[in-house]
Structures are given as structure tokens and as C-alpha cells.
Amino acid sequence: MPGATRGATRGATQGAVRGVIYDGAGTRVVDDLQVRDPGPGEVQVAIAAAGLCHSDLSVVDGTIPFPVPVVLGHEGAGVVEAVGAGVGHVAPGDHVALSTLANCGACAECDRGRPTMCRQAIGRPGRPFTWGGRPVYQFASNSAFAERTVVKAVQAVRIPEDVPLTSAALIGCGVLTGVGAVLNRARVEQGDTVLVIGTGGIGLNVLQGARIAGASRIVAVDANPAKEAVARRFGATDFLTSADGVKDLLPTGADHAFECVGRVELIRAAIDSLDRHGQAVLLGVPPATAEATFLVSSMYLDKSILGCRYGSSRPQRDIALYARLYREGRLLLDELVTATYPVEDYEKAAADAHAGRVARAVLTF
């Protein structure tokens, strides 16, 4: 960075900020959270909006084990406040969407274009926050449920200022995961048939990813019939309340089946729904010890089961692509935002998300 010295920051600000903390016993909204200045290769961002994802709830209910206390949130967008030494691709004042992937950029996996597999980005939570003098962990290298956060520079992706930040916030997790699973992992081709089990925030993005890819038939399955209208808006050509009826619509099976709920019986349903050469993509997150079963003999017609981490994405490329598709009217973002809540209303937002009353609840600062 021209004119900067090692460790220097531009535009750094100080002071206590609001945030949502999980301490192992419960969540609380605090207003005395402290966050350090960005160091070399880091960016400080004033968060404007953050989506409430099921993964945040999974930390609270224990499905995703994580050290505590931790500042929650991992799907956010805001404005750059300060940058550390060596950061040149964003500057104070830039609007950015944040990825959860703090990949190193130098390991063999990153070099192969597979940053979601970077071992430096997995299981090494930092602690850039303090609360009451005690260090606090950062969730998913992000902690977007804070008025201000510090992330690795690679996580901050500049977006056009005409993309609303409440909508842009959702790109960094739900959109990258769902659309990315279709385009990057499954590589759905024009004319393929697609089954999507679960039409929450991830499932809706799988639906629109399949639409963007040109799938000929897109079957959505969700136990809640009230979700049919929004599923069709995002790309579903058919809607069912049970996977039992899939073969009536796709007699030979689906080319691609995406399980977006995280229940082992639905994983089995996705596998059983496949056509020859079909592939089941697992996106839902069941408990860490969950085991699924399937008929081994059913796999010998070139079928496959694929795991997928974070949409197999390359965030610096993909976030910019999805922002462009939004501006062209091809990617729906505004429609994902069911309701916005001031951060002080986190508990209400969490209750609505847990009850399935929203596709995405967005916290605002």
C-alpha cells in the first residue's frame, strides 16, 4: 500500500460497538464490545446488515461445536472503515460483501483454485474482540453480528454501491452456498433435471442457481405448502410437500438432487431419487455424529454422492459475479429478505428463523 508503514492502518476508528454474543449458556446483545484495529493484510468493516443463517442457530443449539464466548454472524455487508498494511484492493469508503472464507491464498489447495479446502481457513478461530476485558472468539472468521468487525483482506469483496447492503449481505453465505453448489460443484447443464429438498435460504438459492444454469425441470420439495409461491418465484417448475411424489414427476429420476435440510432420511430420499449418472449434493448440516444409509447396489449406474463446502466457491470471483447477475436482474436478492430487524431484536429474529417464518431474517445496525 503506497505511503503506508508496516502495521499501519488507514481510517481506523475506536470505541465500543454493539454485537450478539453466545457465551455457552445463551445469547445476548451487548453494547460494550471492543474490536482491535486491523493488522497487516486485514480490513475493518462497519457492518450495515447481516443475514441470520441456520448455521448461527446451530452454534447456539450445539449442532456446530464452537468455542465460547463468540460473536455470532457470518453473512454480512458493510463499508470499509480501515485497512491494514499491504491491502490495496479495497479502501475506506468502499462497499463490501464479506465471505466466511479466510483462505491463505498460498497453499496447494488455494493454488489449485479450491480455497474452500484451504486448511488454514478451517478450525482456527481468531479472537479480535474483547468483552469486559476477556477475549471473544470470531465465528467463521467473520462475526457479522457486530457493528464493526475485522476480517482478512481476502474476505472483503468490493461491490457496486447501488447494490443495497441488506441484500448484498446474503451473498456471502446463502447465495455462495446455494448458487455455487449448482454452478461450481454439481455443474448443472442446460436441460438437466433438478430436485431441491428444502426451500429455506439455501434451497431458494439452489433453485435460482438451477434456473440460471438452464435446468429444464426444477422440482422443489418442502413440507410447508405455504412455501410454494416463493419456491416458484425463485425457479421451481413443480412443488411437492413430500419427496414420495418425485418419481411421478420425474419417472426416470433426477439428474441432480440437492438436500438442503440436514436430515438423514432426506439424504436417503435424495439418493433414491437419482436417475442414471445422477448425483446427490449434500448441503444441509445434520448433527456431527449423524450417519446416513443407502443401497450400495443403487450406485452402480454411475451415480454419485457429493459433499459441498461453501458452494465450492472462489469468493473474490463469485461474489462479484453474483452482484453483476443481481444488477442484470438474473439473480434475486431483495426477494430473499423476508424481514429486517434492528440488532437489538435478535431474539425475535432468531425465533422467526427457527420457526420457518422467514426465508432470511436480516439484522441491521
Distance between CA 56 and CA 146 in Å, rounded? 13
**Residue 112: helix, strand or coil by DSSP?**
coil
Label each residue of 242-280 as H, E or C.
CHHHHHHHCCCCEEEEEECCCCHHHHHHHHHCEEEEEEE
Give the model's pLDDT for residue 125. 85
Between 144 and 105, the higher pLDDT residue: 144
| pLDDT one-digit tens code per residue, 178-209 | 999 999 999 999 999 999 999 999 999 999 99
Listed in sequence order, the residues at least 6 apart from 302 whose beta carbon sits closer than 8 Å to its beta carbon are 276, 277
pTM: 0.92
Say which amino acid occupies 45: V
What pLDDT, on the 0 to 100 scale, is given for residue 2? 38
Sequence-distant contacts of 182-185: CB under 8 A, at least 24 apart: 182/206, 182/209, 182/210, 182/212, 182/213, 182/256, 182/258, 183/209, 183/212, 183/213, 184/311, 184/312, 184/313, 184/314, 184/318, 185/281, 185/306, 185/308, 185/311, 185/312
Q: What cell does 256 get?
A: 441432480
pLDDT given for residue 121 in this prediction:
75
Secondary structure (3-state) at 167: helix
Give the C-alpha distances (Å, rounded to integers) separating 220 from 88, 200, 282. 43, 11, 15
> Pairing relation of β-strands 304-307 and 274-282?
parallel
pLDDT class for 271, splitting at 50, 70, 90? Answer: very high
Query: Per residue in 89-130, pLDDT tens?
Result: 999 999 999 999 889 889 999 999 999 999 887 667 899 999
The strand pair at 361-364 and 42-52 is best described as antiparallel
pLDDT single digits (tens) 208-266: 999 999 999 999 999 999 999 999 999 999 999 999 999 999 999 999 999 999 999 99
Condensed to tens digits (0 to 9), the pLDDT of residues 274-327 reads: 999 999 999 998 888 999 999 999 999 999 999 999 999 999 999 999 999 999
Rg (CA), the chain: 20
The CA distance from 200 to 246, in Å, is 19
* 12-68 residue pLDDT tens: 556 899 999 999 999 999 999 999 999 999 999 999 999 998 889 999 998 888 999
In this prediction, residue 4 carries a pLDDT of 39
Instruction: Write the single-letter amino acid at 307.
Output: G
